[in-house]
Structure 1
Amino acid sequence: MRSMSLSKVNVGIIGCGWISEVHLTSLSQLPEASVIAVSDIVEEKAKQTAIRFGIPRYYKDYVEMLEKEDIDVVDVLVPTSLHAKVVIDCLEMGKHVIVEKPIAASVEEGERIIEAVKRSGKKFTVAHNYRFWPKFAKAKEAIDKGKIGEVKYVMTNHRGWFWWKGAWIRWTLKKPSGGPIVEVGIHPIDLVRWYLGKEIVRIYALAKHVHFGIEVPDLIYMTMEAEDGSLGSVEVCRTIIPRPYPYYHFLQIEGEKGSIQVYDCFDADFVTYNENGVSLREGQLIIPEHGYLQELRYFLRCVIEDKPPLVTAEDATRALELAWKAVESAEKGKPIDVR
């Protein structure tokens, strides 16, 4: 591996599905990044991705790519069921790694990744990109500055239609994936934990099949209780009718001294209320603000500047554990304690 005194990082991509286009579009805008190779088990897909983004080389076998190329950072974009193996292989080959959420298919696999990160001494993070959406990050900044006092309640809903194509959507609609609770709900679960700043000790979920016959529920409500008694609630529905329904989020954070509201689809997209009145920021389109660019830039700077990433393997595994506890709660119809 090259010296990290350099200002540009060589990046390799593993997995050329739809999310790779999002990551590569972002990486192409970063002066810190030089994508030098891509790989995919479907070689033609790797080839077409390389051509489209002007990447010098492509591979079918990611191990061969890692052996032949002078790669500093690997961006792992394979299906969730393959995360643990690919991530651990990359770490053991001396690479820094960013992997798409969730960290793995199971908590046990997440714990294996935690140990691999410790052994490797390399930088590692999971793409919980919601933490990097400007408006969600702004909410955390307001909390940390004490603008609303100690947080007591976080409510968020995430609605839309599964507009993605390919293997990921097929996996998400299958029972072994955990469905939208795990593959989509993990984002708001992570936000609730982040904003509360406390560990979740109990979770209760209701999940229903609303719109059509798939293996997993498409409407989910979750309530989480933290160790200090503060609460979080999450609504996830990704089969909203009609299909043109906008990709929509709403976030409400209640504190001892005020509250914060964050919107996706309205003119006023960030509002803070306290005794001093209302602070309003004008709305803007959210599509360019999804956080991919910000999280990738942030991780590359962590590698270059030798700083610990915000989202650790432990954070991501905890979020995954909570998501699977929500699945268990929904199936059993009762609250579940979390260790």
Structure 2
Amino acid sequence: MKKYGILLIGCGHIGTQHIEDIYYRDNIDIIAVVDTNEEKAALTASKYGAKDYGADYKAFINDPRVDIVIIATYTATHLPLLRESLANGKHVLCEKPIAGNYEDGKEFYELVKSASQKVLVALILRHNKSYNTIKSLIDAGEIGELKVMRIAQSHHVTDWERHKALLEDTSPVVDCGVHYFDVMQWFTGAKICEVSGIGNKVEEDSPRANYTLATVKLNNGCIGYFEAGWSNTIASLNVKEFIGTKGRITLTLKDLRYSDREEGDLISIYHRDNREYKTLNVDSEYKDMNAQIQTLIDMIENGTPGSPTIDEVFSAFYATIKADEAIEKGTVIKI
């Protein structure tokens, strides 16, 4: 079995989530971890057994021991880090979103399309067992034709400075919306064709609107919304509901269950005809980072297209960029 040498760039919240789920796997070898805060990089290296660490990725980007670069940094750095990784012959697992604006996103997309190396963008819900279960139920006609998708994910923040830094890069509808716009297109097999929405700055010192509600129409007639906010005053909210002509499916993550959390996520299915409910327990890891990197390794070894493909990634990204524009301008945009 080949062991893949990993360079992790970014030892913050999401970078740590990546490495803690993969460092002990049989086909993974952590070569180096990098962070602009070298003390944080040293701590991460010590905790997860990295062979080296530093504050500058350039010291490791051309290391022949490195096969895969994990980019877990702020959005504005994704494109230049991708460019350098590919130039040095490395495969890439890059956090979402691919960019904070259309021009950089388009360049990212074109680089991936023309590269001989494999690139996977971290739309983690593609690797989540609960979402894959819901996708299978919808495809099997469990709730009839899917008509409405209600998705909300708002955070009552306790570290405002961290979220302010995220808002400097991009808005909630782009940063988190890429996940759920992708889910909407994945579950329906359709494309988002129209976006609109509303937004506001809840904190005076927020760099941009930190509450957004985007509405979408898909080209098969399905509609949906995605509500997201990061604020000191907004209540945390998590809604995942998929409504069809014969019923609905609701997802409750295990940490949000009132009881029986040890059973995993709860999928509730309501059938209209007999007014009955059915429940499924799914032992699902919310961010299955190992499943994600194994998908990239399968792309490398077997030439599989990956999930999502870069075309699917860019489609969801472009829809969020246009939704952000629609919210800012107070208009409806057809895609």
CA RMSD of aligned residues (A): 2.5
Which of 296, 312, 318 does residue 299 from structure 1 map onto? 296
Paired residues of 1:204 and 1:326 also in contact (CA < 8 A): yes
Offset of residue 257 of structure 1? 3.4
Distance 1:215 1:42, change over 3 A: closer
> Would you say 1:311 and 2:308 are equivalent positions?
yes
Aligned ranges 1:270-289 → 2 under 5 Å: 270-274=267-271, 275=273, 277-282=276-281, 288-289=285-286
CA distance in 2, matches of 1:329, 1:155: 19
Q: 2:51 matched to which residue of 1?
A: 56
CA distance in 2, matches of 1:60, 1:311: 31
Q: What amino acid sits opposite 1:171 in the alignment? A: A
Q: 2:135 matched to which residue of 1?
A: 140
CA distance in 2, matches of 1:130, 1:108: 25
Distance 1:218 1:170, change over 3 A: closer
Q: 2:191 matched to which residue of 1?
A: 199
Offset of residue 165 of structure 1? 7.6
Paired residues of 1:260 and 1:270 also in contact (CA < 8 A): yes
Offset of residue 27 of structure 1? 1.1
CA distance in 2, matches of 1:182, 1:162: 18
Q: 1:170 matched to which residue of 2?
A: 164
Q: 2:261 matched to which residue of 1?
A: none
Paired residues of 1:14 and 1:75 also in contact (CA < 8 A): yes
Which of 312, 328, 331 does residue 328 from structure 2 map onto? 331
Structure 1 gaps of 5+ residues are 1-5
Which of 231, 239, 262 does residue 239 from structure 1 map onto? 231
Aligned ranges 1:244-259 → 2 under 5 Å: 248-259=237-248
Offset of residue 22 of structure 1? 0.9
| Residue deviations 1:263-283 (CA, integer Å, cap 9, x gap) | 232347211223464320248
Paired residues of 2:129 and 2:282 also in contact (CA < 8 A): no
Structure 2 gaps of 5+ residues are 259-264
| Residue deviations 1:181-233 (CA, integer Å, cap 9, x gap) | 22223322222222222111110111123355422223221110111221111
Offset of residue 81 of structure 1? 0.4
Q: Secondary structure at the match of 2:144?
A: coil
Which of 203, 206, 219 does residue 227 from structure 1 map onto? 219
Q: Percent identity?
A: 25
Paired residues of 2:150 and 2:225 also in contact (CA < 8 A): yes
Distance 1:283 1:76, change over 3 A: closer
Distance 1:129 1:7, change over 3 A: same
Q: Secondary structure at the match of 2:62?
A: helix
CA distance in 2, matches of 1:163, 1:20: 20
Q: Secondary structure at the match of 2:156?
A: coil
Q: 2:257 matched to which residue of 1?
A: 266
Aligned ranges 1:56-135 → 2 under 5 Å: 56-135=51-130
Q: What amino acid sits opposite 1:315 in the alignment? A: E
Offset of residue 171 of structure 1? 2.7
Paired residues of 1:110 and 1:313 also in contact (CA < 8 A): no
Paired residues of 1:103 and 1:313 also in contact (CA < 8 A): no
CA distance in 2, matches of 1:78, 1:131: 21
CA distance in 1, matches of 2:166, 2:75: 9
CA distance in 2, matches of 1:192, 1:290: 18
CA distance in 2, matches of 1:80, 1:164: 19
| Residue deviations 1:49-84 (CA, integer Å, cap 9, x gap) | 212221111233323312224111111112110100
How does the TM-score come out when normalised to structure 2? Answer: 0.87
Distance 1:138 1:212, change over 3 A: farther
Paired residues of 1:153 and 1:196 also in contact (CA < 8 A): no
- Which structure carries more relative contact order (alpha carbon 8 Å, separation 6+)? 1
| Residue deviations 1:27-49 (CA, integer Å, cap 9, x gap) | 12433322111223443432232
Q: 1:3 matched to which residue of 2?
A: none
How does the TM-score come out when normalised to structure 1? Answer: 0.86
